[in-house]
Structure 1
C-alpha cells in the first residue's frame, strides 16, 4: 500500500515537471515569435513611411517573413536571438560587421553567414579557419562546411569552435499580429 502511494506521488511530481518544461517551451516560443512579429511589423512600417502613397500589401518577399531563432546551447538560455533571414545574418568574432558576435577564440572574425533565397534558409561558411559544423538530429555527428553553403533546417545545431548554436526556423504568419 505504501509503495503504491509513493508511486502515485512520484508520478504526480513527474507529470508536474513535464508540464513545467512544456509551459516553459511554449512561453519561449511565444517570446521569439512575438519578437519576430515586431521585427516584421517594423519592416512594414518603415516601407509604408518611405512609400506613403502605395499599398503595403505584399511588399515584403518570402525571404522577409523567414526568421531564425538562435540559442547558444552552452550559455544556459542567457543568449537568445531572433533575426530576419532576409536581412543576412553574419556570425563571427569581429565586433564591426557581425549581427551575432561570439567571443570564442576558435571562431573567425567573419565566420559564417545565414541568408535566405526563395523562402529557404541557407548557411554559408566564409572560408573560416576552423570550419562550420552542421549537426542534424540527436545522433548525427554533423558535417563540415568549409567555404560552401547548405540548406539550414529547423532544429539544426551549428558548431563554431567551442560554441554550439541551436536553430529554429519559422515564418511570420498573419495570425502572429493578432496575439496582442
Structure 2
C-alpha cells in the first residue's frame, strides 16, 4: 500500500466547519483507508491507500465529508513521493532554520492563470519572497507571516485553482508520518 496525504481546506478554523480529529479518522477508515493518522486538527491526514490516483481519492473524501457534515470541504491529496518532491524542491533552503517563516500553498493543479502573481512588484515586499513551482507555491516571510504584505497579496491572487497552505513544520511532519 502506498501512503497518501490529504490536506483539507478550511476546517476547524475560527469555530467554523467543525470536523473533530476522531471523526476525521472515522471518515477515512470508512472509506477503506488504513493506518490513518491525523496531524493537528486542521485537516492533515496521512493514510495507506491501495494506489488510487490522488485526484480520485480527493473526490471520494470530499463526497464523504459533504455527506457526513453537510458542508463542502475542498480536499487536496498528494502521494508520499509528491510530498517528498515538494520538500526537496524548496527554493528557500535558508528558511529551514526558521521553519515557521516558510509556507507551502498546495494547489489542486498547475495554475493556468499566473498573471496575478506576475503582476506583483516583488521588490515592494522585500524581504518576503515567493516562488511558484508546479502545484506548489512557496512563501518565505523572514519577519513572520502575520505582518507580511506579500502573504496577503499572494493569498488574494486568483489563480483559478483550489489552494490550501501549510507551514514548513507541518509539511515536514507530514512527510515524516508518511515515511513512518
Q: TM-score with structure 1 length normalisation?
A: 0.29
Q: Which has the higher contact order (CA 8 A, sep 6+)?
A: 2
Q: Which has the higher helix share?
A: 2
- The structure that has the greater radius of gyration is 1
Q: Which has the higher strand share?
A: 1
Q: TM-score with structure 2 length normalisation?
A: 0.29
